[in-house]
Amino acid sequence: MLVAARAGGSTSWAAYGVPDTADAEIGSVSKGLTGLLLHEAIDRAEVSLGTTLGGALGRPEASYAPLTLGAVASHRSGLPSQPPMPGERSLARRTWRMWRHGENPYGDSVADLLDQAADARIGRDRFVYSNLGFELLGAALARAAGDCFPGVLRERVLEPLGMTRAHVPVREADLRPESLTGRSRGGRPHAAWVGDAIGPAGGVRCTAADLAALLDGLVERSAPGIGALEARADATGGSRIGAAWLTTSVRGREVVWHNGRTGGFASWVGVDRARETAVAIVSATAMSVDDAGFRSLEALSP
């Protein structure tokens, strides 16, 4: 388990039962980093919240073409969770193979993703959590920057934050000797979630020290694209959302947070901006750590 905490102006971290250099999948917390990347690109006037996916991706004919980056980043674009794919490549079949055999359900290229999503059915303007949306958002930001997603995220977000060991593996060969293998709740080892397209939605890996650096940037408001944390739309359960980051009122305090889960990992990152406290937890077992995250954050500033 990897943990980090920020309180009283100082940050600590620990890697329990694994080397300090071990890295783990942070799952959908990757979306929070993509949200930072979006607002960093906005700050440099490269894109805006009103930029459309069709314009940013050069796909004016796609069903997703008129959707704005702002709507996508707040999960209010109407995009489904995953692109429509028939037969053996369908989400249901991939998910079944993941839980039955521990396989990686992703691995698509960005080009394949854009083609798969071209005819996606667009729903109405309401909160629908969409991995597809963030895959497309990351592809759009990378194209605007003239780089691949792992490269632009590293240059503009990870390195400025001091997340020096964080990375976005595209192939299994990109994993490091110290990259952890996650397990299901039942103890089954799961293949790493690597792939060209999944990175912006769930493909980032971090060490405990990287998590501590992220907390520092969020609490000190020095993170690139920190505007991503500002809530601007309704989400679900009374929460509001910025660019991926949720804001939830918990017993009178506002917590900005994101969680994640892959086939073998679970994660949670949360910040109490008023009290300048923060917590990050990543478990190498796919069991939710949300409750532990919220309780730990509250304990830091009772």
Q: How far apart, in Å, are the Cα atoms of 280 and each of 2, 19, 73, 132?
A: 8, 17, 22, 25
pLDDT at 84 over 90: no
pLDDT at 190 over 80: yes
- The confidence score (pLDDT) of residue 85 equals 61
Is beta strand 266-272 parallel, antiparallel or unpaired with respect to 253-261? Answer: antiparallel
**What DSSP assignment string belongs to 173-229?**
GGS-TTBPPPB-TT--B------TTTHHHH--EE-HHHHHHHHHHHHTT-STTGGGG
| Length reported for the chain | 302
Q: In this predicted structure, which of 53-67, 77-91, 148-162, 258-272 has the lowest mean pLDDT? A: 77-91
* Tens of pLDDT, residues 87-96: 445 666 777 6
Average pLDDT over residues 166-195: 95
Mean pLDDT of the chain: 94
pLDDT at 175 over 60: yes
- The confidence score (pLDDT) of residue 88 equals 47
- The confidence score (pLDDT) of residue 91 equals 66
Bridge partner list, 167: 205
- The confidence score (pLDDT) of residue 12 equals 98
CATH class of 2-300: alpha beta
Contact 264, 194 (CB under 8 A): no
Terminal CA-to-CA distance of the chain, rounded, Å? 24
Residue 241: partners with Cβ closer than 8 Å, 6 or more residues away: 74, 75, 127, 231, 232, 233, 234, 235, 247
In this structure, the number of other CB atoms found within 10 A of the CB of residue 132 comes to: 23
**What DSSP assignment string belongs to 65-80?**
TT-BHHHHHTT-S---
Break the chain into its structural domains and give their ranges: 2-300
